[in-house]
Each structure stands twice: as C-alpha cells, then as structure tokens.
Amino acid sequence: MLLRSLLLLLLIAAPTLGRADDGYRLWLKYDQLSDAGLRKAWQGQARGIVLESAATPTLQTAANELQLGLQGLLGQPVAVGNKAGGKGQIRLRVAPNPALGKEGYRVSTQKNGLEITGPTDAAVLYGCYALLRHVQTGQRPGNLSLSSQPRIQYRLLNHWDNPNGTVERGYAGSSMWKWYELPERIDPRYQDYARANASIGINGVVLNNVNASARYLTTEYLQKVAAVAGVLRPYGIKVYLSVLWAAPKVIGGLPTSDPLDPKVKQWWTARTNEIYKTIPDFGGFLVKANSEGEPGPQDYGRNHADGANMLAEALGQHEGVVMWRAFVYKANSKGDRFKEAYQEFQPLDGKFAPKVLVQVKNGPIDFQSREPFHPLFGAMPRTPLVLEVQLTQEYLGFATHLVYLGPLIKECLEADTHTQGPGSTVAKVVDGSLEKHSVSGIAGVANIGSDRNWTGHPVGQANWYAYGRLAWDHTLSSAAISEEWTRMTLTREPTAVASITQVLNQSRNIYVRYTTPLGLHHIMGQSIHYGPEPWLSQSARPDWTSVYYHKADSAGLGFDRTARGSNALALYAPGVRQLWGNPATCPPDYLLWFHHVGWKQQLSTGRTLWNELCTRYYSGADSVLWMQRQWEQAKPALDPELYTDVASRLRIQHREALWWRDACVLYFQTFSRQPLPSGLTPPTRPLTEVKEIVDIYQLR
C-alpha cells in the first residue's frame, strides 16, 4: 500500500513536459469562457468579422487577433471576410473621427452588430484588443459602447539589453533579442511580444541599453534592427535605438564627437538617412549622455541641448524624435545628488529643438521603492518631459519579490507639482495638457527577458501590463488594472480574484515597509542593488554608499533637505515645499527623504521615530506571511504550476524580508541605542552575521 501511494504521488509529480500553464501566453489567454450563459450571450455577437476597409497589414493583424481570441473564448468558429453577411458580424472600419485623435477607438453596437472603428488601422487594432479584454474579463455584451484614446503620444518600452545577450538589471533570463540570429532568423517570440504590447497600447520600443553599443548604427546591425521592426510594424509599434554619443569616433573614424563639429553633424545626418532608408518608420533616438561615465557633449564643453539639438537636426524631415535622458549626477561627497539633474537641466528649458523630449525618472535618485516626484516635473514648462519608470525591479527585489508597481506609478502620476497652482499633477505635465505641448511621452524600463514566462516572477507580468494601461490612460486606477490583469491572466473566480488583488495592491507598501520605511532610500547592497547594506560607507563614489543617504547618527536619522541642510526642497513649488518642509506635515512615507529626525521624536503616527521604524520593519516582514496566506486561499482557482511558482517565491520573500528587517533594525540600533518597542522580539542573530550575507551575493 505504501508503495502504491508512493507511486501515485510520483505520477502526480510526473514531469509535465511543458504542458502546464507556463505563463508564456501572458494575459492573452483566450481559453474558453467557463460561464456557458456568458459564452452564449457573446456567441451571437461574434459570428464573423468583416473588414470594411482596405486590408492593411495592421488591419489584417487586428482581424486575425480578434478571430483568434473570439474563437478561443467563445468556442465557435469566427470567419473573417470582407463582405457583410447577416447578423452578429463584427465590422472593422478605418474612418476619420476628430474626437478620437490618431489612435483612439470606438467599439459600438450598431443595427447589424458590433462595429470597431478608429481613425487609423492601429486604432482599430486597439479597439479589437479592447473588445477582447471586455469579453475575457467576463463582461456581458449589453448595449456595448467602449471608446478610448491615449492621453500620451509616445508610449515606449526601454530595453536595457546588451548586444552580448545580457540585460542590464534584467532578472528574467537573457535578452529576448537574438542579435546573432538576426536578420535571417525571426524568433517566434518577437511576434508574441508585439501582440502583448499592442494589446495594452505600447507603440514604441527602444531595443538596446542606454549604455549603448555603437554597433546598432552600423549597416550590419541595421539589417537586424530592420528585421525586428518588420515584425513589430503590423502591431503599430516603432523601433527606437539608444545611441552611444561617441559613435562618430568609435565607428565613424572621426577624431571627435563634438556636436558642433560640422563633420560630426554630417556623420549623424548620413547615418540617420541610412536608418530611414532601411527602416522608414524608425522611431528615433534615446540618449544617455554624460551620465555614469557615458560620453556626451560636455566632453567638448557643450551642453545637453547642444547635443540633443544636433541629433534633432540630423533627423531633419524624418518623423523620429530624440529622447534625451536627464539622469545625470556628479560625484560630490558634499553635494546632494537629489538636486543635480535639476541643476543641469532646468536652466536649459526653452533651449531644446521641437523634436527633443527630455526623459526624467519618476524620482530624483534612482528608482527607489518610494521616491518623491522628480523636481524637474513642472519646472521645465517649455520642454516636453517623458516620464521614465522602471518595471524591472532593480531596487524592488528582482524577480523573487512580489511587488505590483501600479501604485508606485500612480503615486508619481498623481503627485501634485503645484507649479501652476493645485492640481498641476505630474500626469498633466507628462501628457502635455498642463503646459500645452503637442508631443508627450512615457517610458517603462522593461522587465522582459528570455524566460519562458517573460518576466521571471509571474506577477512581473502585471507590471508590464499596468505600465501599458497607465501609459494609455493615466486616470485608470491601479486597483482596477490589477483586477483586470488578474481576471485575464490568473482566474475569474471572484473570491480568488479578491484574495489575489489584495496581495497585489498592498505589495508595494509591504516591500517599502520591510526595506526602506519612512522615506529611507538607497541603503541596499552595493552594485547588485539587492539585500540590505545600510552600513555601506565606502564605494567608488560617495553617492553610491548608504550612509550618504540615511545620515544616521546618535541624534537621529534622515537626510536634511530643508534650508538647514541641502535645501533640495527649494527645487519644488511653494505648495510642495511647505507641506514637505515641515516634519509635522510631511507625510511619514517621505519623512526621512527630507528631514533628519531625532530617534525619540514623536511622529504623527503617535510613535517615536525609532519605535515607528521598528514597527514598520516588523509589520512589513510579517505582512509577507499574510501575502502567503492570501495566495494560498486562491489556490483552488489557480493553475498548479503557477500557484507553486508564486508560493515558492513568497517563501524566498519572507526569508529575505527578515534579512532586511534584522539588518536594518540591528544596524540603526547601533545609533539609536534603544531597545525594540515592546511586543517585538529582537532578532536572534547578531549584526555581524547578517552583514556577511550581502557580501556573499556580491562576490564574483
């Protein structure tokens, strides 16, 4: 009997041979709707698809995707044709409609059935995905009327992918771009990647790392880039390239890369013309210059505007744009990195050519788990600013911690810059409405790699999804998106959906609590940006240490950025300055970003700083156990492989939350010299032991 039981167990655990739900399909899961009534209701509406406009590749793609989705969801054949044929036909039609902009769609109920229209074929494609989403999330047909247009024009993914197949700060395998195989071999993933992006409205991708190789500008590589562009084009997606500022020297044989040198200008113009000969709808350039050792116009005494404008000129009459990153900071142990991008870029406002957008990270430091919005937002009214957010979890637990980023992105978008009075949100700066720009952009640093499920952590897919949805419409709520994603990707069973979305929606706050509560920032393991290392005091640059940021001493904790300190607060509009400048009104979540607070100082929460700090570290780590329970509750509704995958990662997350908690509490206790608040059990391991762990992860 025992043997039989063992064998039975073995059979259950038998190799799945890749047949389980391995996450490859992302949220585009066109499995048959289990609710027969719902299925029937839709079946009558979807007997066929009629192409009423000329079948461009994009329109054909739209019809094809709609057919694929509806056939799967409804379990019936759905024919595609170009002639209306009775009731229940879904008509796709390109038709001008000033109310929809260039990319907006309308899905409406007409006499003979549903109609999906838009002013361009890409708009119709977006409409098809909107209808599929509607069906897939379990909505009823009713008198259907869906209409939406994007609020931001350039909705990009930035890949930090290197030509050697590695991904800078990538945690989902290697790069999905197989440069050695291109242009001859087109990996089938490219098309599925395009489908996923188009389904959430992403219309541009930068293929390579901002720490760029010049090779992409060579004729050899442009052939490869063109092959990728060919796959993405029918999905309404343009390719962009990050460029190495020194390219004219490195591959052009010129002695200089000075943007004002005529030969340099000429070289860029010639290269740009060749790019457009090869890729007529090329999107444009992304540039990281004079930042973290990258070359740039300052090497020749020029400024960022000189550089960006020269590239804009090279683009000439072509449609492409220049996205010039404002992520710059100089090593200065007496300075405040917080202020440096502002100081370099704000004075250039008004100096950039019309084709230039300046790309600004959400916060002033570098993708920390919580940052105040970047002070450049609202401070460069004559320059369109691209918001750059990071989907790959460089500082948020890689692919092992479950952190849904919807709340983080929304927090930035909804932040009020007060630059033109209350309500001057970052979203309104970015979408161009506040400062009346005709171009607007947003960029998400991709969390996508060659891993079968694309993002390593299955819930990383939700971050790709949420980014796309917010890039399209930043007024959507983070919770609505997490529910939508869950219903499309994991399950439509209501209690499981509730259980899972609670985890997602709380996850970012929980991560902040057990790593960097109360506005702590940049205290993670050096170089790898993983695990706690608040004691780090020596590094290649002062602003790459932890002590630079937390300033712990016997008196207290936090970076004084008021007028008594670095005065970084002065970069913000008065409305912000007043709120954040006073420790009593500064939200606890931002407190240590701006104030050096005494250990015994009482906070608005009613606890002293020290007690509040400890409480947050402990409750944060404990909350991971809550996440585990919530996930377990959803188990019956989930694919077993997927359930186990996330459950395992949540166990890692709890182990590492304790690592963070113990490291930070024990380390900061050496300054506070106070016991833990009552009710909290002190760590059982000494600080020396915790310190060793992060070193291990930094060994060659």
Read off φ and ψ for residue 175, nearest 5 degrees. -65, 140
Which is nearer to its own copies, 55 or 254 (by Cβ)?
Answer: 55
Mapped onto helix, strand or coil, the DSSP state of residue 88 is coil
Where do we find the tokens 């509040």?
612
| Closest distance of CB 370 from its own copies, Å | 23
Q: Which pairing describes strands 154-158 and 441-445: parallel, antiparallel, or unpaired?
A: parallel
Residues 390 and 417 sit within 8 Å (Cβ to Cβ):
no
Output the smallest distance, CB 164 to its own copies, in A: 8
Query: CB 684 → its own copies: shortest distance, Å?
Result: 16
* 8 A C-beta contact, residue 324 and residue 357: yes
The label of the residue with tokens 């608005």 reads 604
Q: Which CB atom, from 55 or from 439, has the smaller least distance to its own copies?
A: 55
- The residue (of 40 and 185) whose beta carbon lies closer to its own copies is 185
Other C-beta atoms within 10 Å of 480: how many? 12
Which lies closer to its own copies via its Cβ, residue 71 or residue 420? 71
Q: How far is the CB of 682 from its own copies (least distance, A)?
A: 22
Do 150 and 440 form a contact (C-beta atoms < 8 A)?
A: no
Active site residue 292: yes
Burial label, 39 (beta-carbon count in 10 A; 0-12, 13-18, 19+):
middle
Quote helix, strand, coil % in the chain, to nearest 5. Answer: 45, 10, 45
Please report, as a single letter, which amino acid is at residue 209: N
Tell me which residue has tokens 């460029």.
243
- Apex CA 219: angle with CA 215 and CA 224, to 5°? 75
> Smaller CB distance to its own copies: residue 247 or 386?
247
Q: Which two tokens stand for residue 395?
A: 């500082």
419: which strand partners? 421
Nearest CB to its own copies, comparing residues 277 and 651? 651
- Whichever of 275 and 427 has its CB closer to its own copies, that residue is 275
CB of 436 to its own copies, least distance (A): 41
- CB of residue 184 to its own copies, shortest distance in Å: 4
**Alpha-carbon span 489 to 642, nearest angstrom:** 11
Burial (Cβ within 10 Å: 0-12, 13-18, ≥19) of residue 680? middle
Structure tokens at 615: 């409480």
What tokens does 219 get?
């004729």
HSE toward the beta carbon, residue 591, CA cutoff 13 A: 25
Indicate which residue of 181, 292, 553, 695 is catalytic.
292
User: Which residue do the tokens 């390579």 mark?
Assistant: 208
Query: In terms of Cα–Cα distance, which of 655, 622, 210 is closest to 397?
Result: 655
Tell the smallest beta-carbon distance from residue 167 to its own copies (Å). 9
In sequence order, what are the residues at sequence separation of 6 or more whose Cβ sits closer than 8 angstroms to the Cβ of residue 644? none
DSSP annotation of 390 reads: E
Nearer to its own copies, 67 or 359 (CB): 67
Q: Smaller CB distance to its own copies: residue 178 or 351?
A: 178
To the nearest whole angstrom, how small is the minimum distance from the Cβ of residue 643 to its own copies? Answer: 12
Q: Round to whole Å and give the CA distance between 377 and 385.
A: 7
Which phi-psi region, left, alpha or beta, contains residue 404 (left: φ > 0; alpha: ψ -120 to 50)?
A: beta
Q: Considering the complex, what minimum distance in angstroms separates the CB of residue 532 from its own copies?
A: 14
Q: How far is the CB of 633 from its own copies (least distance, A)?
A: 20
388 is catalytic: no
Quick check: is 181 catalytic?
no
Q: Given the complex with its own copies, which of 105 and 171 has the nearer CB atom?
A: 171
Shortest distance, position 690 Cβ to its own copies, whole Å: 12
Calpha distance 58→376 (Å, rounded): 38
Token pair of 16, please? 């799945």
Complex with its own copies: residue 150 or 456, whichever CB lies closer: 456
| 400 three-class SS | coil
Q: How far is the CB of 47 from its own copies (least distance, A)?
A: 16
Active site residue: 161, 294, 394, 662, which one? 394
The one catalytic residue in 187, 274, 299, 366 is 366
Closest CA to 372 of 561, 651, 584, 597: 561
CB of residue 311 to its own copies, shortest distance in Å:
20
**Residue 106, φ and ψ in degrees, nearest 5:** -135, 125
> Which residues fall within 8 angstroms of residue 544, CB to CB, at 6 or more apart?
526
Task: Look at the alpha carbons of 177, 178, 184, 189 in this order and tell me if their dihedral is positive or negative.
Answer: negative
Q: Which is nearer to its own copies, 128 or 379 (CB)?
A: 128
The residues pairing with 321 across neighbouring beta strands, listed in sequence order, are: 284
For residues 403 and 393, is the Cβ–Cβ distance under 8 A?
A: yes
CA nearest neighbour of 544 among 341, 170, 292: 292
Whether residue 125 contacts residue 175, with contact meaning beta carbons closer than 8 Å, is answered with: no
Structure tokens given for 576:
């912000």
Nearer to its own copies, 484 or 645 (CB): 645
Query: What burial letters (b/e) apply to 114-126, b meaning 16+ CB within 10 Å?
Result: bbbbbbbbbbbbb
| Cα 621 from Cα 606, distance rounded (Å) | 21
Q: Which residues are catalytic?
A: 292, 366, 394
